[in-house]
């Protein structure tokens, strides 16, 4: 999504001109500059509203806990960035999933998020202002799903690339016009040898 595009631009600049990114203040200014110029705060494609959201390029499928079938999840039209977490924090310790109230969890079909629950949390960010308020922990992110596995189907069409990042490493994912690019993420439980008594 858009945050991955900004991260890609920042990393590319830092690789080409390392003398510019020499400290946290300089890095934040460069990051903010990319956020503004690449449409994260001001969408340059107002003449083409179909280019604004991810649902025009992305299909999202999940496998719920103890289920073997993929279920397609409707992508909210306002979402311009998808984040998948297997921890309860993101972006230097922020908690965008939040501490959700029991009635909200029940209504959405979620359970309380824990790093060892075998589930991943999927949420969306709408644009730079929304992301800024989420990172300041003033509001919550757009909760999309909670799942044991997730599959993204990226469709090319008018798009020849998608920006993706994993663990802070961004890349430009090429897209083929007539084919889908599939990215599947499964959370594999880790079994401790100490707890199991294995040697």
pLDDT tens string 30-85: 767 766 666 555 555 444 444 456 777 788 999 998 888 999 999 888 888 888 88
Domains of the chain: 49-186 (2.60.200)
Model pTM score: 0.74
- Tell me, what's the pLDDT at 116? 80
Q: Please say whether the beta carbons of 75 and 60 come within 8 A.
A: yes
CA atoms within 13 A on the CB side of 122: 25
Residues 6+ apart with CB under 8 A from 52: 43, 45, 80
Three-class DSSP category at 26: helix
Cα(98)–Cα(109) distance, integer angstroms: 16
Residues 6+ apart with CB under 8 A from 165: 3, 4, 7, 8, 171
**Which whole number is the average pLDDT over 97-102?**
82
């Amino acid at each position: 999504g858009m945050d991955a595009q900004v991260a890609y631009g920042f990393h590319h600049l830092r690789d080409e001109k390392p003398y510019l990114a020499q400290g946290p203040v300089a890095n934040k200014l460069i990051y903010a500059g990319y956020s503004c110029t690449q449409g994260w705060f001001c969408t340059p494609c107002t003449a083409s509203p179909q280019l604004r959201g991810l649902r025009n390029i992305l299909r999202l499928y999940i496998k719920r806990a103890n289920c073997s079938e993929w279920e397609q999840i409707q992508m909210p039209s306002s979402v311009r960035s998808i984040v998948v977490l297997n921890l309860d924090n993101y972006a230097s310790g922020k908690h965008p999933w939040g501490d959700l109230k029991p009635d909200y969890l029940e209504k959405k079909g979620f359970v309380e998020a824990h790093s060892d629950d075998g589930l991943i949390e999927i949420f969306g960010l709408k644009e730079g202002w929304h992301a800024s308020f989420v990172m300041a922990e003033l509001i919550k992110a757009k909760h999309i799903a909670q799942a044991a596995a997730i599959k993204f189907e990226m469709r090319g069409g008018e798009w020849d690339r998608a920006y993706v990042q994993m663990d802070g490493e961004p890349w430009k994912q090429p897209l083929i016009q007539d084919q889908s690019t599939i990215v599947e993420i499964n959370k594999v439980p880790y079994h401790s040898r100490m707890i199991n008594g294995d040697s």
